[in-house]
Structure 1
Amino acid sequence: MNRFFHFLRDNALALFFLLAFLASLVGQAFAGAADYNERQIAGGGESISFIAYVTSSEYAVDVAENWQSEYLQFLLYILVTVWLVQRGSPESKPPGQEGRESDKEQGVGGFADEHSPWFARSRGLAHVLYANSLGLVMGVIFALSWLGQSVAGMAAYNRERLSQLSDPVDWGSYLLAPEFWNRTLQNWQSEMLAVASMVALSIYLRQRGSPESKPVGASHGATGVEG
């Protein structure tokens, strides 16, 4: 029992957001099904079952377009913070420390200790992949989500076109369609604004006890300092 409670304590942050994600996903499914059926009835169509909705392209494209924008946000933030800094933000490295840092600073190769992952002590392709694994995985998830959005979006777009007696389009044509980029960019702009707000507001505002904030007593100019 103690081991179980220790597991919950040690993984509480990830478990909280995982449960919040699942609750949101289920809530979106029910709300989306109700909204879809309302629009179907208002347009003279027939309502569909909940199972039919959650397996439809309409639900898939709504989910995928949010996933791809979130992972794009993380991918860009992981990569640009290697080289770009913001003085005063806990989300940034201090000015003057831009770049990939030395082996000593990163604790790799001969500077790795007995607690370091094996990949940190190795050389060659395995080390290169591990040293960039976070960005690579985020990039792969973004690419797959973006691909899923485009495929599901094309199916939903063509269903609507067929209902209007218009010819369906192929995948390449859909990628150039305003509908696809409207869906995509409306998510991207919100993510970029959220990141910019977090970087800038964390210079002057505080949240006591949060590692995403500087200590309450830290100066506005303190950079890379977490509470």
Structure 2
Amino acid sequence: MTDVSQARRAAGTGGTMGKWVKERGLLLANAALFIAFFGGMVLSGAASYSEDQLAHGQPAVSVLQYLGTGAFVEATFENWESEFLQMGMYVLLTVFLFQKGSSESKPMGRAAPQDEDPRPAKFRPSTPWPVRRGGWVLKLYEHSLSIMFLLLFLMSFVLHAVGGSADYNDDQQAHGQPTVTVLGYLATSRFWFESFQNWQSEFLAVAVLVGASVYLREKGSPESKPVAEPHYETGA
């Protein structure tokens, strides 16, 4: 193979990779930020947990040991639970509710593409398989986004309870108090305080975004209306 051919192939490979990254940039950026911040949470959480252990005359833990503690499980899934609840509820609420002037709302007074019935649609090779399959498969697919968030929320809720009960029992044993089961932990004010303190902040953030997008703009963002769009215009 000539040097020119090798250079062309390398350029083509680089172009293909660049296109692949560009087409998935938003997902990749958020995944990278998640990994970075999750790593920071693990490292700082292990350090904080070890400080508490030493303050109570207990041995410090390694990062790997920290991953097996109830404190880590509780802290992780307590937050994931609220995020999945927020996004799932937001997906469902935007099906039925409107906000005049907000880019986060479907348009008012006219049909939205999201409301179209897929059954009479003309099928193409790129049409999702559940749409072509029809029946109960399509019925599930029509609500698959909210179903996914519901399942993720329930998983996180259960793991929050499991990890929280383990951490709670560690505190109880350290103070000579009786321990509780996972179901018993669900009846404690501590569990619900942990949940509500996160849930309220998530819906506050959504309310601010919905309301602020009526009057404020971010040029280039699909979460914003065009900069010159009147405040009363609803939808992206």
TM-score, structure 1 normalization: 0.93
Q: Residue 212 of structure 2 corresponds to which residue in structure 1?
A: 201
Number of matched pairs: 222
Aligned with 1:221: secondary structure?
Answer: coil
Q: Residue 6 of structure 2 corresponds to which residue in structure 1?
A: none
Q: Residue 151 of structure 1 corresponds to which residue in structure 2?
A: 162
- Deviation, structure 1 residue 97: 5.7
Aligned with 1:48: secondary structure?
Answer: coil
- Deviation, structure 1 residue 101: 6.9
- Maintained 8 Å contact 2:106/2:112: no
Q: Residue 94 of structure 1 corresponds to which residue in structure 2?
A: 107
Quote the Cα distance in structure 2 between the aligned partners of 1:143 and 1:159. Answer: 24
1:53 aligns with 2:59: no
Give the aligned residue type for 1:196.
A
Quote the Cα distance in structure 1 between the aligned partners of 2:164 and 2:22. Answer: 40
Quote the Cα distance in structure 2 between the aligned partners of 1:63 and 1:223. Answer: 37
Q: Residue 30 of structure 2 corresponds to which residue in structure 1?
A: 17
1:27 aligns with 2:40: yes
Q: Residue 18 of structure 2 corresponds to which residue in structure 1?
A: 5
Q: 1:118 to 1:11 in 2, by over 3 A?
A: same
What is the RMSD computed on CA atoms of the aligned residues?
A: 1.7
- Deviation, structure 1 residue 37: 1.4
1:84 aligns with 2:118: no
Structure 2's unaligned 5+ residue stretches are 1-12
Quote the Cα distance in structure 1 between the aligned partners of 2:187 and 2:176. Answer: 21
1:111 aligns with 2:121: yes
Of structures 1 and 2, the larger Rg is shown by 2
- Deviation, structure 1 residue 79: 0.5
Quote the Cα distance in structure 1 between the aligned partners of 2:111 and 2:50. Answer: 52
- Counterparts of 1:163-202 in structure 2, within 5 Å, are 163-202=174-213
Quote the Cα distance in structure 2 between the aligned partners of 1:94 and 1:157. Answer: 48
- Deviation, structure 1 residue 15: 0.5
- Maintained 8 Å contact 1:83/1:99: no
- Maintained 8 Å contact 1:83/1:98: no
Q: Residue 210 of structure 1 corresponds to which residue in structure 2?
A: 221
- Maintained 8 Å contact 2:78/2:195: yes
Quote the Cα distance in structure 2 between the aligned partners of 1:198 and 1:40. Answer: 41
Give the aligned residue type for 2:148.
V
Q: 1:128 to 1:99 in 2, by over 3 A?
A: farther
TM-score, structure 2 normalization: 0.89
Give the aligned residue type for 2:177.
S
Structure 1's unaligned 5+ residue stretches are none
Quote the Cα distance in structure 1 between the aligned partners of 2:205 and 2:231. Answer: 20
Q: Residue 138 of structure 1 corresponds to which residue in structure 2?
A: 149
Q: Percent identity?
A: 37
1:47-88: CA deviation from partner (whole Å, max 9, x where unpaired) = 111211122111111010111100000100000111000000
Aligned with 1:162 (options 173, 181, 185): 173
